[in-house]
Amino acid sequence: MTRGLENVWAKHFEILFRLLDGRWTIAPTFSRPSSGWLLFRDMAKVRFSCQICMRGWTSMFGVVLFFYRWNPEQKCGFVRFLLMGQSCSKCAKQNVFLTPMWYPEEAQRVMTNFFYKICSKVYGHTAPPMNQDRRHGRPRLQHNSGQCQGCVLGLCKPQKKLCITDKSNEEMPEAGREGHTDCSETEVQRDPCVQKAIDGVQKALAERARSAADVMKLGVPGAKCRVDGTNRALKKKL
């Protein structure tokens, strides 16, 4: 993973998770962590580029895995994220997967979904429905499961519902394992600061949507360009 791509994820993470009570850290990983971590998955449109043959392509099945755990005694949380790759159909060896390039708005969307999951799972708040509206795309070729790391691991298209929302699909921490305390909703306290953070994110997203809708209704020439610019500016503030 390039330093630039890592910084994109770290930036979106820091903007949201600094609003929570406790200290949260994030880092990329290239394999599934040892037992004791909870799992959250999401999907987005991504782009790939082969540095050997210079072939590029997009995919609507870019999978990201977030592994996380929370230590209530020390009030600190740890997150590791893994980006599922794809192999080039022309020159790459089987199971040699390229790192995807994520669109900033897609990274922001899945990070917001993950933020809401943490608010619900760790802090006991009711989170809004997940945003599964991916960036528009019309790939010329069908999804090739043989070239997709997510499909090889059973985490991609074959599953009817990718995003985990129930405990039956999550790996629960081992009992008694230090630093791997289960953060079940019955044990957490509802933090008003967390609810304020949720409300703030929802309000910003709602205002952005209303602003875009109002401008487009006017039918002013060049309105779409200004809406896109407004959206980009708001994303920087979130």
Coil, helix or strand at residue 191:
coil
DSSP string, 41-82: EEEEEEEEE-TTT--EEEEEEEEEEEEEEEETTTTEEEEEEE
Distance, CA of 3 to CA of 46 (rounded, Å): 17
Please state the pTM of the whole predicted model: 0.67
User: Do 19 and 85 sit in the same domain of this protein?
Assistant: yes
Mark whether 184 and 205 lie in a shared domain.
Answer: no
Shared domain for 138 and 200, answered yes or no, is no
In terms of domains, do 32 and 83 share one?
Answer: yes
Question: Given 188, 208, 230, which residue is the final one in a domain?
Answer: 188
How many domains does the chain divide into? 2
C-alpha separations of 151 from 6, 70, 162 in Å? 23, 29, 11
Q: Which residues contact 19 (CB under 8 A, 6 or more apart)?
A: 193, 194, 196, 197, 200
Q: Which of 169, 188, 207 is the last residue of a domain?
A: 188
**What residue numbers bound the domain in which 209 lies?**
191-238
* Range from 40-49, 113-122, 137-146 carrying the lowest mean pLDDT: 137-146
Closest CA to 24 of 187, 194, 144: 194
Query: Residues 97-110: pLDDT tens digits?
Result: 899 999 888 999 99
One domain, residues 165 and 64: yes
Tell me: do 170 and 225 sit in the same domain.
Answer: no
Task: Specify whether 54 is located in the same domain as 90.
Answer: yes
pLDDT digits (tens, 9 = 90+) for 171-202: 333 323 333 333 433 333 455 656 666 676 76
